[in-house]
Amino acid sequence: MGNGKLIVFSAPSGSGKTTIVQHLLKQTNLPLEFSISATSRAPRGEEIEGKDYYYLSANDFKLKIQNDEFLEYEEVYADNFYGTLKSEVNRIWEKGKAVIFDIDVVGGLNIEEQFPEETLSIFVQPPNLEELERRLRGRGTESEEKIKMRLDKSTTELEFAPKFDAIITNDNLEIAKQEAFQLISKFLKK
Ligand code: 5GP
Question: So what's the pLDDT on residue 129?
Answer: 79
* CATH number, domain containing residue 24: 3.40.50.300
Q: Work out the average pLDDT over 35-61.
A: 96
Residue 157 inside a domain? The answer is yes
Question: So what's the pLDDT on residue 139?
Answer: 73
Contact 15, 126 (CB under 8 A): yes
Ligand 1 atom nearest the C-alpha of 107 is 22
Q: How many structural domains is the chain composed of?
A: 1
**Residues 67-103 pLDDT 10s:** 999 999 998 777 799 999 999 999 999 999 999 999 9
- Cβ 12 under 6 angstroms from ligand 1: no
Contact 184, 30 (CB under 8 A): yes
The answer on pLDDT for 42 being more than 90 is yes
Rounded Cα distance, 71 and 73, in Å:
7
**Residues 5-39 pLDDT 10s:** 999 999 887 788 889 999 999 999 999 999 999 99
Q: Work out the average pLDDT over 185-189.
A: 95
Q: 81 CA distance to ligand 1 centroid (A)?
A: 8
Rounded Cα distance, 90 and 137, in Å:
36
Question: So what's the pLDDT on residue 83?
Answer: 97
**How does residue 1 score in pLDDT terms, banded at 50, 70 and 90?**
very low
Residue 32 inside a domain? The answer is yes
The answer on pLDDT for 104 being more than 90 is no
Ligand 1 atom nearest the C-alpha of 76 is 8
Residue 1 inside a domain? The answer is no
Expressed as residue numbers, the domain containing 63 is: 6-189
Q: What is the pTM of this model?
A: 0.87
**Residues 121-143 pLDDT 10s:** 999 998 887 887 887 788 777 78
Residue 86 inside a domain? The answer is yes
Question: So what's the pLDDT on residue 19?
Answer: 92
Question: So what's the pLDDT on residue 6?
Answer: 97
Three-state SS at 107:
helix
**Under the phi-then-psi rule, with left for phi > 0, alpha for psi from -120 to 50, and beta for the rest, what region is 68?**
left
As separate numbers, helices (DSSP H) first and strands (DSSP E) second, the chain gives: 7, 9
CB-neighbour burial class of residue 4 (10 A; exposed 0-12, middle 13-18, buried 19+) = middle
- Cβ 74 under 6 angstroms from ligand 1: yes
Rounded Cα distance, 83 and 71, in Å:
8
Residue 126 inside a domain? The answer is yes
Rounded Cα distance, 120 and 108, in Å:
10
Question: So what's the pLDDT on residue 122?
Answer: 97
Q: 2 CA distance to ligand 1 centroid (A)?
A: 23
The values of phi and psi at residue 27, to 5°, are -80, 110
Residue 93 inside a domain? The answer is yes
Q: Whose alpha carbon is nearest atom 3 of ligand 1?
A: 13
Question: So what's the pLDDT on residue 149?
Answer: 85
The answer on pLDDT for 2 being more than 70 is no
